[in-house]
Structure 1
Amino acid sequence: MKLILGIIFILFATLVGQLAYLQIGYGSRFKAEVQKSNSAVVSSQVPRGVMYDNKGRVLVGNKAKNAITYTKSVSTTADDIYKISNLLSQYLQIKDEKPTSQQVVDYYLANKKNSTQEAAKVPKSIRETQDDNLINARIKSQVLKEHIKLTERQKTAAIIFNKISGAYTLSTIYIKNNDLTDKEIAEIGEHLSELPGVGIGTDWQRSYPNGSSIRSIIGSVSTEKAGLPSDNLQYYLTNGYSRNDRVGTSYLEEEYEPLLRGTKATSKIWTKTAGGIEQSKSVYSGQAGSSLILTLDAKYQKEVQKSLEQIYASALASGAAHYSNGAYAVAMNPKTGALLAIAGISRDPNKNKTTNNALGVINQSFVMGSVVKGAMVGGGLINKVITPTNNTLPDTPVYLPGTPIKKSVYPVGTFGALDAATALEVSSNIYMMHLAMNWIHADYVPKTKISMPATAFDTLRHNFNMFGLGQKTGVDLPGEIAGIQGRSFNEQGQILSGSVLDLSYGNYDAYTPIQMVQYVSTIANGGYRMQPYVVQSIGHTANDGKKVYVDYNKKPNVQLRIPWTTDELNVVRQGMWRVVHGTNSWGTAHKLKDVKPAISGKSGTAQTFYFDPEHPRQKNPPELVNATFVGYAPSDKPEIATAVIFPGLDPDLEGSYTLQMTKAMVEDYFKLHKK
């Protein structure tokens, strides 16, 4: 016994000596290790860039709103999150979200009592595997089968628990940033000392103080909940975004995302090893997103959209637009390419439901009809098929073997021959077909034969492309389409001769409204094909929000110069003047002759059909027409060019809706822009 006690005493003395050695020799070192701090850099959001119209009015801005925030510390445990979630649920209500079944399970098991009870239910065979993943999966499946019922407060707590659990360490998230009441703010403010990490802050949402008629062009921004788009996730992450950052998801918001996002504010935070924040220092205050100044005028945009809606409503009321799927109007500065207004209506004929769709101006295409005849005559002059002094062609219908007569809308024999300007005035299809046959050197014998070179379509389409028809304009908006080309050859490889003639007067290929306004602008400005654009300037807004400092101005871009002479241009301009101001009884737009300032332009009507998407195999679909008009004003010194399309109208009730719309666009523009 004495020997055993001696050994115990020696061991105990050794232990005491070792503890004394560690305490005296290394105590300060271990204490410093415990208190040692680590540093980390965290970032925070800055206001997104503002968009203004060309008069400085805010088109889209940021509206501040109160928010309840949470910053997750290094030492936060699941038990801490559970307690905070339950406390917050006493003061907050989250009605716009419902917890998922998985969120209910996670919240339920965060209670140690519940998790212990559920663990005891796990079969012994599974527990003996000591496989944590297998055991946890079994516990969760058990809880799911039990269909746990939560109170409304517990549901809110489950949502909060999920949000906090998913937050990154030292990152700040929003617990609630919509519909936060004064009572909720006050109660949480009174109990902040009991809620570590919880704070009262501000968030923002996009606002549209001058209306939302062009919201489809401005685009949208993702919510914090949606975060980064999954299809571009890696791109955003490699460019410094966090997964819950809000980004532009469409059109201008997406196109100019790198500028609109700004530069995040950064802070350096020192944390103790034992947990908690020791010190925080701002490294960079951040830079708010760049401001975009658009070419659009908010007031004019409202007027154009309003007129389009009213005139389209009257077309619906008259029965003319029963099968119509919408209407579009666009105005452009012909000298610069700056877009002045973009309006559109999309309609579902089956449901008779209409929505604003300004984007249809760039991503919808239609067979436009006779409005393209200015480009056809211009091409004939440039290629010397006709000349300014010799441009008269016979006005005899075209008779192709085995097909119906191809003629103009007026009776056969109304004219024996027409010059180019009169052909534009009365919208002669016959003139354009003869011009096309002379141009491509077709071998034509009435009712007997017609043969054309295989390059006939290429020849005419190249000419239309020169004016911007049938190809993308390059507008600074994503999603633009080039239009639709009809087939050039049949199954046997033979050129579709009749379709070549249809193309010559606008009844074959489909173009977009923005192509039409670029085309008529090219005639209006003397032959310069200008690239359309929406963003005029990029700058930054002063801290007081009252002034914008411009960093970049868009310079007008000439894409192509039409190689015609002044005399050749004047033939086309004279014809488009006479379309409105001529005296021939078959003139197509004389209703606009009293508009001030004077308008020049070209009307169009193209045959089409209504194909019901719900009955794709329908027989005898209704015959309809696309009604169009392109123009510019004043005729002598153009300041505005317009294009209007009302597709799918009843041919017997077509009316003059495009002319009414053009009149409204021109008159409203000059009322708002008096010198």
Structure 2
Amino acid sequence: MKRILEIIRKRTGSQAKSTIPFRLNLLFFIVFALFALLVGQLAYLQIVYGGKFQAEVDRTDKTVMQGNVPRGMIYDSKGRLLVGNSTESAITYTKSASVKSEDIYQIVDRLTKYVTVKKGKLSERDKADYILAQKGRSAAIAKSMPKSYRQDSDGNAYSANKLYANEVKYVQEQGIHLSQSQLEKATIFKTMSSAYALSTVFVKDQGLTSKEIAEVSEHLTELPGVSVGTNWNREYPQGKSIASIIGGVSTEQQGIPDDELNIMLASGYSRNDRVGTSYLEKSYESILAGTKSQRQVEIGSNNQINSSKEIYAGQKGGNLNLTIDSEFQKKVQDTLNSEFAAAKGAGITQYSDGAYAVAMNPQTGAILAMAGVRNNTKTGKTTEDALGVINRTFVMGSAVKGATVLGALMDGVITPENNTLPDNPIYLPGTPVKKSVYPIGTYSSLTAQKALEVSSNEYMMALALKEAKATYVPSRQIKMDPNIFQTMRGYFNQFGLGVKTGIDISGETKGIEGATKNSAGQLKTGSALDLSYGNYDAYTLIEMAQYISTIANGGYRLKPYIVQSIQKTRNDGKKGAVESVTKPSVLNRVGFTNDELQVVKTGMYNVVHGTDGWTTGTRLKDISPSVSAKTGTAQSFYYNPDDPNNPDPPSTITTSLVSFGPSDNPNIAMAIVFPNLSSENGNYPQLVAHQMYEDYYKLTGQK
């Protein structure tokens, strides 16, 4: 047995000695084979795909960046420049795709060696962002923060965004104290950081000195993204008397208004683009803005801009030629200022909103002048407010009686041949007598023409009673057709009273209609009578101008407009070819006959040229060529917003005027209002109209 074990042991040891070297050799062979394959694969990749991989390393992306172009100009009807652009040198910054805050911090630090920027409006967050952008500062502050600022209650580390928010919070809690120099740097940092990727912002575009431009230009290589360019600002060579009509343009910081953001972004705008924010600048934004320039930019694999090349210079904004003669506009504004100052000197403007005037061509709808004076009833300070012509409403009084008479003629309750009515006051239960300004009994009866001349309220109320199919018994409640308000307003609307005129300036409002029923649900019959002579509903002055123009031109309600034509801008900045011309636009034709129209035109002529002692517009009778008009007076009460529940508010008087001339072939129509005066003495609308006619006839050579 011992012998057998010895034999087995000898055989086993021999096999072990022979097996171990074989296994090692096999392992070495496998490793060598794999290594050989790896070397072969590397060689294959290097030889076959080496160029491709190198190209990938050197790969650049091409993208197109857009740049703004100068905004279009605005000229008056005689070619005078009203709104232009002043060009300023500027330092710009184009943000790379992946630039970090600490990179911007370093650029700002270098840039401020050559450029001085005034401290802007900075929030505590802005200051904290600037502090944390310094290299290593964020990490240092994170390390010094309490544990609760770095991780949640379960010990989990906060996300990068949450951690940064807590860093900002911690910096603010510790107190931020920056020097004046640091505040200036923080201002630039905010501007540059707020830019979108591959967008350009203006670091400094006002007051840039030649030394600053030279030094920045010399050091552009150490200021990635920074460049020297130009920017523009709106300027008004003829003064700002018409600026409120033209409107404003946003700054780069304001960018696109929030209420139009999505629409304008979809149209190719950028968030920080300068756009028209009101009135003409807004209404004609697509024309004035022009077409942006395009620059092709190559971005390397490191997300930095390698090169850029202009591929389209852009097209400067188109020019607007207005219907307004700036010389006439200035004269109208000066006249309005002068007459309101006279009313103020007479001590009757303490409750007045101001004064407004508008003139238009009744044959085309072209606006010839718009002027306004806004009066602050608390301070007595006045400011120019031409836009009040389209966005403020007033109860105009008897100036609307032309529409009342023509409405009654169209309704058939009177005719051109049969329009004589008794001139009697109206007595209603519980209300003061409704009458004209002249004593009761001055006239036993009146024709429509005479009623317009002496501005009879009784006559207009008689027309309303006929249209309402009412029977009047003194001191008793009148039963009327419940549709009387709709009937009268329907005729008024045909002339443009109580509806938007469609003028090509954004911001127009429309007239305000009074209630038709009282709190008990009963028809306000007394108010229906007030409506007939203009003492109930309120209208804008542009509506009044459209109404009188409709009478002047024979019944065509024309859309008012202020832009006569649009012209391209040539490369040298001068006006180019005319792209479009505004043509008269008829909104509707009022359905009166020529005989019916002549009744009202005769009455309005007599308002100026009549010889009755109660003729209302005789201050205009010496104007040549002759003019026609209708005066207005409305009684109301001053509403004090600081004392809205005053049971006894002061009574006020609004005086107004509508007019056209020459009477036989009108080429100018005007509307004027002096609201809420404490006395009607002075006839201020007639004085303004007289001067407007003199100035217009002189400028246009009419004799």
Using structure 2 for the length normalisation, give the TM-score. 0.90
Task: Give the conservation status (yes or no) of the 8 Å contact 1:483–1:512.
Answer: yes
Match of 1:79 among 95, 99, 102: 102
Corresponding residue for 2:137? Answer: 114
Corresponding residue for 1:350? Answer: 378
Corresponding residue for 1:42? Answer: 65
Q: Residues 162-216 of structure 1: CA distance to partner in whole angstroms, max 9, x if unpaired? A: 2222323332221111232333323323333332221111011122222222222
The reply to whether residue 61 of structure 1 matches residue 89 of structure 2 is: no
Distance 1:264 1:412, change over 3 A: same
Q: Map 1:270-289 onto structure 2 (within 5 A).
A: 270-289=298-317
Distance 1:564 1:12 in 2: 105
| Partner SS, residue 293 of structure 1 | strand
Corresponding residue for 2:240? Answer: 212
Corresponding residue for 1:300? Answer: 328
Distance 1:618 1:124 in 2: 62
Q: Which amino acid aligns with 1:82?
A: Y
Structure 1 residue runs without a partner (length 5+): none
Q: Map 1:543-622 onto structure 2 (within 5 A).
A: 543-622=571-650
Distance 1:272 1:360 in 2: 56
| Partner SS, residue 451 of structure 1 | coil
Corresponding residue for 2:684? Answer: 657
Task: Give the conservation status (yes or no) of the 8 Å contact 1:443–1:449.
Answer: no
Task: Give the conservation status (yes or no) of the 8 Å contact 1:425–1:582.
Answer: yes
Q: Which amino acid aligns with 2:276?
A: G
Distance 2:171 2:429 in 1: 79
Instruction: Say which is worse superposed, 553-562 or 505-514, in terms of deviation.
Output: 553-562
Q: Offset of 1:518 from its aligned partner? A: 0.8
Task: Give the conservation status (yes or no) of the 8 Å contact 1:89–1:154.
Answer: no
The reply to whether residue 178 of structure 1 matches residue 201 of structure 2 is: no
Q: Offset of 1:20 from its aligned partner? A: 7.1
Distance 1:454 1:155, change over 3 A: same
Q: Map 1:136-535 onto structure 2 (within 5 A).
A: 136-535=164-563
Distance 1:155 1:20, change over 3 A: farther
Q: Offset of 1:575 from its aligned partner? A: 1.0
Q: Residues 550-598 of structure 1: CA distance to partner in whole angstroms, max 9, x if unpaired? A: 1111111122223333322222111111111111111111111112222
Q: Offset of 1:390 from its aligned partner? A: 2.3
| Partner SS, residue 112 of structure 1 | coil
Task: Give the conservation status (yes or no) of the 8 Å contact 2:253–2:272.
Answer: yes
Distance 1:11 1:60, change over 3 A: farther
Distance 2:201 2:33 in 1: 55
Distance 1:393 1:88, change over 3 A: same
Q: Offset of 1:369 from its aligned partner? A: 0.6
Q: Residues 519-544 of structure 1: CA distance to partner in whole angstroms, max 9, x if unpaired? A: 11111112211111122222212223
Q: Offset of 1:24 from its aligned partner? A: 6.1
Task: Give the conservation status (yes or no) of the 8 Å contact 1:388–1:567.
Answer: yes
Q: Which amino acid aligns with 2:130?
A: Y
Q: Which amino acid aligns with 1:660?
A: L
Q: Offset of 1:481 from its aligned partner? A: 2.1
Q: Residues 316-336 of structure 1: CA distance to partner in whole angstroms, max 9, x if unpaired? A: 111111110111110010001
Q: Offset of 1:22 from its aligned partner? A: 6.5
Distance 1:154 1:12, change over 3 A: farther
Corresponding residue for 1:94? Answer: 117
| Partner SS, residue 223 of structure 1 | coil
Q: Offset of 1:506 from its aligned partner? A: 0.8
Task: Give the conservation status (yes or no) of the 8 Å contact 2:426–2:435.
Answer: yes
Q: Which amino acid aligns with 1:477?
A: I
Task: Give the conservation status (yes or no) of the 8 Å contact 2:607–2:628.
Answer: yes
| Partner SS, residue 32 of structure 1 | helix
Distance 1:137 1:12, change over 3 A: farther
Using structure 1 for the length normalisation, give the TM-score. 0.94
Distance 1:105 1:17 in 2: 56
Q: Which amino acid aligns with 1:665?
A: M
Corresponding residue for 1:669? Answer: 696
Instruction: Say which is worse superposed, 188-197 or 97-106, in terms of deviation.
Output: 188-197
| Partner SS, residue 380 of structure 1 | helix
Q: Offset of 1:399 from its aligned partner? A: 2.3
Distance 1:172 1:11, change over 3 A: farther
Distance 2:485 2:99 in 1: 72
Distance 1:112 1:584, change over 3 A: same
Distance 2:177 2:430 in 1: 77
Task: Give the conservation status (yes or no) of the 8 Å contact 1:88–1:157.
Answer: no
Task: Give the conservation status (yes or no) of the 8 Å contact 1:333–1:639.
Answer: yes
| Partner SS, residue 444 of structure 1 | coil
Q: Offset of 1:70 from its aligned partner? A: 1.3
| Partner SS, residue 189 of structure 2 | helix
Instruction: Say which is worse superposed, 420-429 or 640-649, in terms of deviation.
Output: 420-429
Task: Give the conservation status (yes or no) of the 8 Å contact 2:119–2:187.
Answer: no
| Partner SS, residue 417 of structure 2 | coil
Distance 1:287 1:672 in 2: 36
Distance 2:175 2:477 in 1: 80
Instruction: Say which is worse superposed, 321-330 or 639-648, in terms of deviation.
Output: 321-330
Task: Give the conservation status (yes or no) of the 8 Å contact 1:35–1:274.
Answer: no
Distance 1:498 1:447 in 2: 12
Q: Which amino acid aligns with 1:619?
A: P
Q: Which amino acid aligns with 2:458?
A: I
Q: Which amino acid aligns with 1:109?
A: L
Distance 1:345 1:26, change over 3 A: same
| Partner SS, residue 575 of structure 1 | helix
Distance 1:72 1:435, change over 3 A: closer
Instruction: Say which is worse superposed, 304-313 or 286-295, in terms of deviation.
Output: 286-295
Distance 1:287 1:546, change over 3 A: closer
Distance 1:619 1:404 in 2: 18
Corresponding residue for 1:103? Answer: 126
Distance 1:446 1:117 in 2: 92
Q: Offset of 1:410 from its aligned partner? A: 0.7
Q: Residues 482-507 of structure 1: CA distance to partner in whole angstroms, max 9, x if unpaired? A: 21111212233322222111111111
Task: Give the conservation status (yes or no) of the 8 Å contact 1:486–1:509.
Answer: yes
Residue-pair matches, total? 671
Q: Which amino acid aligns with 1:469?
A: L
Q: Offset of 1:279 from its aligned partner? A: 4.2
Task: Give the conservation status (yes or no) of the 8 Å contact 1:107–1:158.
Answer: yes
Larger Rg: 2
Distance 1:380 1:75, change over 3 A: closer
Task: Give the conservation status (yes or no) of the 8 Å contact 2:656–2:672.
Answer: yes
Q: Offset of 1:10 from its aligned partner? A: 7.9
| Partner SS, residue 150 of structure 1 | coil
Q: Offset of 1:151 from its aligned partner? A: 1.9
Distance 1:661 1:234 in 2: 46
Q: Which amino acid aligns with 1:78?
A: S
Instruction: Say which is worse superposed, 464-473 or 328-337, in terms of deviation.
Output: 464-473
Q: Offset of 1:69 from its aligned partner? A: 0.7
Distance 2:511 2:52 in 1: 76
Instruction: Say which is worse superposed, 367-376 or 278-287, in terms of deviation.
Output: 278-287
Task: Give the conservation status (yes or no) of the 8 Å contact 1:579–1:602.
Answer: yes
Distance 1:508 1:549 in 2: 49
Q: Offset of 1:100 from its aligned partner? A: 2.2
Q: Which amino acid aligns with 2:382?
A: T
